[in-house]
Structure 1
Amino acid sequence: MFINSLVPAKLGDVYRGYLLKKKTNESISLGVGTVFIERVFDLVAMISLLFISAYLSFKSDIPKEILYSIKWGVIIILFLIILIFGFLIVNSKINLKNKKLEAILMNFEKGLKAVKLNTLPLLITLSFTGWFIEGLTVYFIFLSLNLNLEILFGVFSDLASSLLTAIPLTPSGLGVVEYALIYILKLKNIDYSGAFAVLILYRLISYFSIVLFGAIMFYIVERNILKEPKNEKY
């Protein structure tokens, strides 16, 4: 999370693969494959919970922009699923002469298959629970500012703004998330002073705290990694 808060394009996910290699002696490509499939499940949980919270918050008056975002979220999920199955089919049929590239692709496939069918219910439950708990952050901010908004709207606000971080344009969605959160709060007729107060507290919790404590942990982790022997698995 710390790396993703500093660099665009979700490059922090590659760093997670690097850490997996250092800690377990597994390849980076296997770690990236595991992170990729994790992101797909996260996106499924996010879009599903976003639709539920939007419907319960707005009933039949869900803003068309929100419906548009949900529609594109579903399209992205379907595209990723097709991409995964396409990769698995193609990778099982090709025979590469480059052994290093072949090892990278095989380990990536191994990472994609790390999720077993019998673990799916638990994984989906944890994803839903995780996103719901994260959504409570905004609701508690509402309470601290004496804003009379329901808990599901807090969850919806967090999910709708977090969805933009899945589009790796800026580090942690800087700029686009702020705009989205202000826009969402205006849907409930929150004035700009209240909306900006929510935004400042939200970013202090969801961004600057990660940068601060993440920097400390990054220093500790990297210092330990430098002491470990190198290996050459890809």
Structure 2
Amino acid sequence: MENKEVCLARLHQWFDIEGWSTEERVNKVVNSRLQIAYTRWRNTLHTTYKKLVEEGISPREVCPKVDLSMAKWQAACDFIEDEKFQVKKNKVVLWRDTHISKKNEGQFVNSVAQSLHDIMIVKKSQPVNEDEEPPSEEAILESTLDRRSQYIKGMRHGAEVVRGRQSSSYMVANTELKEKLEEQRIALDEQKKEMEACKEQHSQEIDALKAQMAKMEKLLHTIIG
């Protein structure tokens, strides 16, 4: 909360935002933009941390960002190495948990989030052939949502962050979720059209075969007399 107040104070010094302190809508927009910046920065640090580990470098021995002090990088390492951050959930369940309103008896934050979750569950339950591997949790998320900047849209990483008022991440996700849901709807419509086309073609082929057999039978009757 203290860091948030510092950011708000600096923004107030640099920019003259009309209605900041009097209009709830403006306040929510500012909170949303701060949340976006924070989430992207945190994910960037996490990606950098993992890359150093993969390269055999101890993350705590080198600060990878020129605009980040060693003390702040050490604090980021503490956060990343915390047991709460390290716990891995089922990714579909994790996505669901981050789109549930705690103030509304566990309901989804909006109908779009509910629809996307339903699509994930359908994809997860679809049967596969014996020689095929079932889709992974990450593959289901990628096909339903999108991948951007090394992380999946709509997914928060790390421990739960306590926020004041309404969670701004919910508001930020609305537009992207609606766009992705529309893409999924269009894709499903295309699949339905392809299935109908195949069904129609198959029906025409059967009709043609029946007509050909009828002609052959008529010809045989003529020959036999």
The higher-RCO structure (CA 8 Å, 6+ apart) is 1
Q: Greater CA radius of gyration, 1 or 2? A: 2
TM over 0.5: no
TM-score of the superposition, structure 2-length normalised?
Answer: 0.30
